[in-house]
Amino acid sequence: MKHVIPALVLGVLLLAALSLGYGGFEVTSTFNDLDGLNRKLDTLLGTHHFSYRAPMWWFGGHGGEHVGPVTLGGSGALSSSAKQSDSLKCQLAAIRANFEVGFPYTPNQWVWVRPCLDLGATGLLVYAQTLGADTKKWYAAWSIGAAPGIEVMGSLPTSSESFIGLFVKASYHIPVSGLAWFGDSEPPSLSLGGFALQMGLRFGKTVSVAEDDGFEY
């Protein structure tokens, strides 16, 4: 299982790079409950006051293609945050890779509303140490989850066959498996589930309407 996340990330980035439909860049904020991580860090040396709080910020890219009446694609993103309290410092890093299926509704050529479902994996690494390096702790974990959501995009033509668009997507991540931890025998208690808000820039081919079959592709 240790190769699952790198393989998913590679597959998603290749899909984004080779996509003939659309692709772009995105920033995502996820509202996870990180109180369990703060409590664990506070206990390492006894008198610290760590304050990891939502949202977590993710930066990444995406790509996809129109396949009949649906869209198929994927995305990958990274997140990193460092905190320091008294003599203890901590680095939190995460990576995620998702495959996505969507069902776009286009009231006109330059706007779409798209219910969608993401399926993928998230990896998490926490590294904490005293400034004198007397105490070092690391925790690594991965989880698989699903995220139903809805996206709204507005776009402008850049040519007769292409567009540039801005999109906003709201979703809710539901862990299918709990975090599988590695490293220290007493990992923190936290969940990667929660609400997510995503915004980004997209480039793609103009969606056309098939006169003979009645749906967009």
What is the model's pTM? 0.79
Q: At residue 67, does pLDDT exceed 50?
A: yes
Q: What is the mean pLDDT of residues 198-214?
A: 67
Q: What is the mean pLDDT of residues 75-96?
A: 84
Residue 215 covered by a domain: no
Residue 210 covered by a domain: no
Q: What's the structural domain count of the chain?
A: 1
Adjacent-strand bridge partners of 46? none
Q: Would you state the pLDDT for residue 209?
A: 44
Give the CATH number, domain containing residue 136: 2.40.160.20
Residue 105 covered by a domain: yes
Residue 27 covered by a domain: yes
Q: Which domain holds residue 109?
A: 4-205
Residue 214 covered by a domain: no
Q: What is the mean pLDDT of residues 155-179?
A: 88
Q: Which candidate, 72, 156, 186, 160, places its Cα nearest to that of 119?
A: 72
Residue 174 covered by a domain: yes
Angle at 20 between CA 166 and CA 212, to 5 degrees: 95
Residue 216 covered by a domain: no
